[in-house]
């Protein structure tokens, strides 16, 4: 599937059509928040947790990159 036919590009930010806005650690709408029963503290304070989570994801990507470079040889 090339970049132009990927579902996320055909329907950007549409719930149920764009896999990038599916609920995971962050929920993107009130409907998703109602469906997700786990971690009510996290749901209520996700705006405050966004930047710490973003920092952790950046560290995770850096670690995965170094790990992939180490396995390439």
Cα–Cα distances (Å) from 35 to 6, 9, 32, 44, 66, in that order, read 26, 25, 5, 14, 37
Q: Classify the phi-psi angles of 38: left when phi > 0, otherwise alpha if psi is within -120 to 50, otherwise beta.
A: beta
- pTM score of the predicted model: 0.54
- Residue 33's pLDDT is 75
38: confidence class by pLDDT, cuts 50, 70, 90: low
Domain spans of the chain? 1-37, 44-73
- Residue 67's pLDDT is 92
Range 7-33 average pLDDT: 72
62: confidence class by pLDDT, cuts 50, 70, 90: very high
Is pLDDT above 80 for 1?
Answer: no
């Amino acid at each position: 599937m090339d970049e132009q036919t990927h579902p996320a590009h055909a329907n950007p930010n549409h719930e149920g059509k764009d896999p990038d806005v599916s609920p995971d650690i962050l929920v993107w709408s009130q409907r998703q928040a109602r469906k997700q029963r786990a971690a009510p503290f996290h749901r209520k304070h996700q705006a405050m947790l966004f930047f710490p989570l973003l920092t952790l994801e950046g560290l995770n990507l850096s670690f995965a990159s170094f790990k992939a470079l180490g396995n390439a040889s």
